[in-house]
Amino acid sequence: METVYINSPLGITKIIGDDNGISVISVSDVGTNEISETIPEILKDAVFQLNEYFEGKRTDFNLKLNPKGTEFQQKVWKTLLEIPYGKTVSYMDQTKKLGDVKAIRAVASANGKNPLWIVVPCHRVIGTNGSLTGYAGEIWRKKWLLEHESPTSQQSLF
């Protein structure tokens, strides 16, 4: 496993991966980790694509992913990959897509355990009433990401 720490507009981004794919992309507050001086070869494409995303030049990712999670979590994360850039769905919409409306809390919990920040876009899932409910990366980051993905709106979405 290789690890790299890069600067992003939302804090220090940690990327972990190996030949099997990227297993972790996470963010923390500035100053909690040191920025890497070199980028391991296996992680260069992930760094490049994330930088393009933050520059507004990328709307989807083409990375080999290898997140660790239960079978249920993997199913939930797969539905996240189907949410288009600039769009949102509710937790209920996501739960319905998985076929069991009673599983809404389990779906929300799986979203919260998503190990691949931004690339598996759990930030695109909102409350049924349109609220920015629940986000492991803190609500202000979710708001920033959704506004970043909707550059055509002249005013804040929220």
- Measured in Å, how far apart are the chain's first and last C-alpha atoms? 39
DSSP tag of 36: P
CB atoms inside a 10 Å sphere around CB 100: 10
β-strands 11-18, 21-28 pairing = antiparallel
Q: Which residues are catalytic?
A: 122
Measured CA to CA, the distance from residue 84 to residue 87 in angstroms comes to 6
CB atoms inside a 10 Å sphere around CB 79: 19
| Residues comprising the chain, all counted | 158
